[in-house]
Structure 1
């Protein structure tokens, strides 16, 4: 499963584009449909959606359009 990792909680440069707007731990943009098992059940996502893991460890799936509206990509 291919994906790109984005660090959301620092201002330092990384090998990928960096995103920062709300306090999140990490975001992964997925390139294929996927499912993620969590303590509260299985989450489903589509290609180009993001898996978000906040600083407390909570995992969620965010659709591409919602992600692009909520987060700012820093180049």
Structure 2
């Protein structure tokens, strides 16, 4: 793929998600017993303990991280 084709496939999707505001992410389950990579993703989202909530910008990279640990977190949309 050329650089222009990558931008053309990613840009509309990224623009649509950035308009939706932010995401409120809450850790609802422990990472104990799960793969270490999942614990790393949870820490990368800024979550430290069960019940901890963070508000992050809605972008494709965070959506991908959430998809990897969707069984451990609760996600709500927040309008800015």
TM-score, reference length from structure 2: 0.27
Question: Relative contact order: is structure 1 or structure 2 higher (C-alpha 8 Å, sep ≥ 6)?
Answer: 2
Larger radius of gyration: 2
TM-score, reference length from structure 1: 0.29
Return the structure number with greater strand share. 1
Return the structure number with greater helix share. 2
